[in-house]
Structures are given as structure tokens and as C-alpha cells.
């Protein structure tokens, strides 16, 4: 069976592999295609595209936008975006500025708690890419303040924790519209992170996103067990949405996630790529 991975991160955001390295790893892993979907940036796409072209590998350009949501986390993936579309570009710039304003706020809160993380340290670890909480967490691990990245999130960085600072971001409908405005395909990422209490609640969230223009659901995902994947597939079918899937590979930043394999059991069928292409 041909498999793919439609959700990956590079050094352009909080992954640890460069875009070109990621393409080489995807080829080594026997994947038939990958999508690069960095958080709120498309900076890594050019390098990924060049390497993919050089090696005759199929790359799907993508992005993952963080959006406002009352509970849990909502992320919207955008595939095949026209990177030169002006409104899309200016929206990304606005989101990136909000992120840049947020990082010093988090560092100040950590400092008040006796934890020193500097912008220089973050810049070194992020290798020129966009800085996010996982970079802060990694510096905290390296300096021995916490045991692990998830420990850093749990104790300091997650929403509601002591050093958390919000970033003002897009509403879901805005993100969907900006992706569609750039001729891209908006897909709900990792539905488990919405923390819906049951299938009916998940259904109604996805249904209302569809009314705003959502076109797909990431059903296959590292953190989805068989039952949850099944529920997502059923919702996608009932609402006539495209099925996609990916590992959310971050390299060393999330070492338990393997490219194209998640925690070992993930298999994203290549038919997901075909479904996206036929929606173009």
C-alpha cells in the first residue's frame, strides 16, 4: 500500500529537521508523498520544493494555522496554497507579529519564577525559524529546569499554566477564508485536540466549520486510536469532507513521533493525496 504523511514540521517552525532533510527522510521512510505544514509560516516550502524536485519526490505545500477555540486547541491545515496571494501573505505576517510579541511575555513570566531563558538561546535553538513554546521548553530541558518538553508545558507553558501568555490569533472562519482566498484546501487538524466530550459534540463542531467552508478532516493522526479514527472517518463521510492524515512529525522536538508512522501504527493511505488533488 502506498502511504504518505500530510502533516510535518521543519526548522521553519518548531521541527528539528530542515526542509531538505525532511524530504530525504521521507524518501528513506518509503513514503510516496509528504506535506510540509509549519505553524503559521510558509518559509520552509521553497527549500522543501527544491529538494523534492531534485529527487523526483512528491511534495504538497501546506501550512498549519492556530485558531481561537474555547476549549483544547484548534488548528486548521491549508494545502496547495498560492503563496503569493496578498491577503494570505499579510494575514501570516500579522499572526507572526503576534507570536513575536508573545515570546518575550512568556520569558518575563519565567524570569519572575526564577527561570532564565533568553532570546539568544531561543534564536540558537530555532535555527532562524519561527519561535514557539516548544523552543522555550527545549531550552528549559537543556538548562535542567524541567525533565522534559511535556513537563515544561504541564508546569509552565500550557494554557492556564504559570508562564502562559496568549497570542491573539485568527477565528476559525477567518483562517478557512484566508486559505480558500489563496486557492488552498482548509482541513481540520487532529480533531482529538478539540477535547469534544463525545461524537455528537465533535460532529457539531465539524459541521459548523463546514458551514464556514472547511473541506476536510485529518482522520488519521498519531494520537488517534482506532475508535477515534473511525469516528472521524464517519463524520467526514456524513459531511462529505475530504479525509486526510499525518503524523505531526517534529523530529527531535517530539522524538516519539516517527515520520509517516506516528507511534508505530499510523498508515496514511495515498488516496488522501488523490482526494486533495481532485478537490483542486
In the complex, the residues that contact Zn ion under the rule CB under 5 A are: 9, 14
Nearer to Fe ion, 37 or 110 (CB): 37
Using CB under 5 A, pick the residue from 34, 75, 218, 262 that binds Fe ion.
Answer: 75
d(CA 67, CA 170): 5
d(CA 63, CA 170): 14
Residue 75 contact partner, candidates Zn ion, Fe ion, ligand AMP, none, CB within 5 to 8 A by sort of partner: Fe ion
Nearer to Fe ion, 145 or 250 (CB): 250
The span of 16-24, 82-90, 132-140, 208-216 binding ligand AMP (CB under 6 A) equals: 132-140
**Residue 133 Cβ vs ligand AMP, minimum distance, rounded to whole Å:** 3
Q: What's the rounded Cα separation, in Å, for the pair 249 and 7?
A: 7
Count of alpha carbons within 13 angstroms of residue 26, beta-carbon side: 35
For Zn ion, which is the closer residue by CB, 81 or 137? 137
15 lines the binding site for ligand AMP (CB under 6 A) = no
- Residue whose C-alpha cell reads 501568555 in the numeric block: 165
Work out whether 248 is an interface residue with Fe ion (CB under 5 A). Answer: yes
SS3 171: coil
| Closer residue to Fe ion in complex, CB, 65/115 | 65
Show Cβ contacts of residue 158 under 8 Å, excluding neighbours closer than 6 positions.
164
62 binds ligand AMP (CB under 6 A): no
# residues contacting ligand AMP (CB under 6 A): 10
Q: Residues with Cβ < 8 Å from 53, sequence gap 6 or more?
A: none
Angle between helices 133-142 and 119-126 (to 10 degrees): 100
Rounded CA separation 208/120 (Å): 42
**Binds ligand AMP (CB under 6 A): choice among 49, 105, 155, 158:** 158
The binding track of 55-74 with respect to Fe ion, each residue x by CB under 5 A or -, is ---------x----------
Question: In 101-206, where do the E strands start and end?
Answer: 185-188
Nearest to 124 by CA among 97, 101, 142: 142
In the complex, minimum distance from the CB of residue 136 to ligand AMP, in angstroms, rounded to a whole number? 8
Three-point CA angle 219, 12, 280, nearest 5°: 45
Q: Which of 14, 47, 51, 218 binds ligand AMP (CB under 6 A)?
A: 14
Question: Can you tell me which of 27, 150, 155, 177 binds ligand AMP, judged by CB under 6 A?
Answer: 150
41's grid cell:
509560516
Contact residues for ligand AMP, defined by CB under 6 A = 14, 39, 66, 132-134, 149-150, 153, 158
Contact residues for Fe ion, defined by CB under 5 A = 64, 75, 189, 248
Amino acid at each position: 500500500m502506498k502511504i504518505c504523511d500530510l502533516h510535518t514540521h521543519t526548522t521553519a517552525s518548531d521541527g528539528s529537521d530542515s526542509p531538505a532533510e525532511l524530504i530525504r527522510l521521507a524518501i528513506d521512510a518509503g513514503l510516496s508523498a509528504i506535506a510540509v505544514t509549519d505553524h503559521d509560516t510558509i518559509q520552509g516550502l521553497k527549500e522543501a520544493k527544491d529538494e523534492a524536485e531534485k529527487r523526483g519526490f512528491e511534495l504538497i505545500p501546506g501550512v498549519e494555522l492556530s485558531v481561537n477555540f474555547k476549549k483544547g486547541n484548534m488548528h486548521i491545515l491549508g494545502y496547495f496554497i498560492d503563496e503569493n496571494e496578498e491577503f494570505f501573505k499579510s494575514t501570516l505576517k500579522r499572526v507572526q507579529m503576534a507570536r513575536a510579541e508573545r515570546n518575550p511575555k512568556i520569558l518575563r513570566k519565567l524570569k519572575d519564577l526564577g527561570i532564565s531563558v533568553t532570546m539568544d538561546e531561543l534564536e540558537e535553538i530555532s535555527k532562524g525559524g519561527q519561535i514557539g513554546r516548544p523552543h522555550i521548553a527545549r531550552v528549559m530541558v537543556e538548562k535542567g529546569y524541567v525533565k522534559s518538553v511535556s513537563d515544561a508545558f504541564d508546569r509552565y507553558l500550557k494554557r492556564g499554566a504559570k508562564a502562559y501568555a496568549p497570542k491573539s490569533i485568527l477565528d476559525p472562519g477567518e483562517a478557512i477564508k484566508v486559505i480558500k482566498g489563496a486557492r488552498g484546501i482548509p482541513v481540520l487538524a487532529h480533531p482529538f485536540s478539540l477535547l469534544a466530550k463525545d461524537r455528537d459534540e465533535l460532529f457539531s463542531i465539524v459541521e459548523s466549520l463546514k458551514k464556514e467552508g472547511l473541506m476536510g478532516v485529518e482522520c488519521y493522526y498519531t494520537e488517534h486510536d482506532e475508535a477515534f479514527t473511525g469516528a472521524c472517518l464517519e463524520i467526514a463521510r456524513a459531511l462529505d469532507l475530504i479525509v486526510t492524515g499525518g503524523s505531526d512529525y517534529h523530529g527531535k522536538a517530539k522524538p516519539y513521533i516517527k515520520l509517516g508512522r506516528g507511534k508505530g501504527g499510523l498508515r496514511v493511505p495515498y488516496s488522501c493525496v488523490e482526494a486533495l488533488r481532485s478537490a483542486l
